[in-house]
Structure 1
Amino acid sequence: MINVVIASQNPVKIKCTEKAFSEVFKEKVFVFNGINVPSNVADQPMSDPETLLGARNRAKNAESAKPNADYWVGIEGGIAETEEGEMIAFAWISIISKHQKGEARTATFALPPKITELIHQGIELGVADDMVFKRSNSKQSNGAVGILTHDLIDRAEYYRPAIVLALIPFINPELY
C-alpha cells in the first residue's frame, strides 16, 4: 500500500488527488488521507508566488505531520490581478516524496467584477462566491470554476490535470 497524504480535509481536494494518482499509477494500490495543516500564507493568496509558496508549505507541513507517508500533496488556490485590472483564479499543486518533487499550476479563469470587488474588500474567494451566487460552502463542492462554467468543469476536475502534471517527475524519475 502506498500512503498519500493530502494537506487538506476538503473532500474535493481528496477526490481529485485520488483520481489523478489512480489514473497515473494504474497498477498501484493507494491509501489516501487528508489532514489539516497550515499554508503559512494568507487565507486568500493574492499572487502567483504566494500561492505556489502556500502549496509548497502545505506539502512540507503534511510531511512533518505524517512523516511515514510516501507522498505529500499540497493544493493551494490563489488569485492575481492582471495588468488590465482583471482578477484571475488558479491553483498550484506541490507533490513531494522522500526523493522527488513535482509542481504544476492549473489553468486560469477570469472572475466576475462583483467577486473581484468583494475580494478587494478582503473577502476570500469561496466566501465571495457564496455571497454573490447565494450558495453555502461552495469551495467544498463545485467552487467558483464549477459555478462559472455551469458545472462543465467542477473543482475536482479542474485540479486533476494539474495533479497529473505535477506527477511527471514521479512518472519519469530517470529524467529528473
Structure 2
Amino acid sequence: MAFPKRKNYQEQKRQKLVIVGSKNPVKIKCTENAFQSLFEDTFIVEGLNVDSNVKDQPQGDVETYTGAYNRAFEAKKAFPEADYWVGIEGGVDEVGAQMVAFAWMVILDGSNKVGKAKTGTFFLPEAISKLVREGMELGDADDRVFQQTNSKQGNGAVGVLTNGVVNRLEYYQQAVILALIPFLQKNFY
C-alpha cells in the first residue's frame, strides 16, 4: 500500500511580514515571539524608526495609547507592503502620590482591524518617580538609579525590580499576545 506524499511542513506555511514601529530589540523580539507562539505561519519581524508623535515620556493612558497607535500607523504608512504593523509605547501615570509604569500595544493589519492591549502596571520607586517628574525619560531615570546603561533595550525597571523574574521582553510579550486576540479569534472580532 502506497502512502500519500507528505508535504514539507515549512512549505505549507506562508511567510508574513510584521513591522514594529521601533528599532528597540526588546520590542522586536517580544513581537516575534508573540506572533510565532500564536500562529502557524512564519513571520519576518523587522523594526523601523518612526515617530510616536507624543512626548518622549508619555504620561497617562491616553497619551501612551496614542503613542503606540501612532507608531503602528506610521509604520504602516512607511511600509504598506507588510501584513501587520505593531506599535509599543511605554508610559507612566500618577496614582495618588505614587507613579506607575506600563505599556500599550497596538497592532494593525491590512483590513483595518486593530488589536490593542496594555501590560500590567507596577509602582516605581520614589527615586525614579522624582526624576521622571523632573522631565527625565523613564529609561534614563532607570539607568541613573540602578547604575545601568541603556536599560530600556534590556530588562528595564521591571527586570531590575523583580530581580529578573519578569524581564521586559516577557512583560511586553504577554501584552502583544493579548493584542493579537482579534486576529486569532476572527469570528468574534
CA separation in 1, counterparts of 2:187 and 2:128?
44
Question: Which residue of structure 2 aligns with residue 98 of structure 1?
Answer: 110
Distance 1:115 1:152 in 2: 20
Q: TM-score, normalised by structure 1?
A: 0.98
Match of 1:143 in 2: 156
* Alpha-carbon RMSD: 0.6
Q: 2:19 maps to which residue? A: 5
What is residue 45 of structure 1 aligned with on the other side? 58
In the alignment, structure 1 segments of 5+ residues that lack a partner are none
Which ranges of structure 2 fall in alignment gaps of 5 or more residues?
A: 1-14
1:15 to 6, 29, 38: 29
2:106 paired with 1:86: no
Q: What are the superposed Cα offsets for residues 142-172 of structure 1, whole Å, 9 maximum, x if unpaired? A: 0010011111011000001110110000001
Distance 2:70 2:110 in 1: 15
Deviation at 1:14, TM superposition (A): 0.6
What CA distance in whole angstroms lies between the structure 2 residues aligned with 1:30 and 1:124? 32
1:134 aligns with 2:147: yes
Find the aligned partners of 2:45 and 2:134 in 1 and give their Cα distance: 37
2:128 corresponds to 1:115: yes
Q: For 1:5 and 1:19, locate their aligned partners in 2 and report how far apart those are by CA, in whole Å.
A: 14
Task: Pick the structure with greater CA Rg.
Answer: 2
TM-score (norm 2): 0.91
Equivalent of 2:173 in 123, 140, 160: 160
Residues paired across the two proteins, number: 174
- Runs of 4+ with deviation above 3 angstroms: none
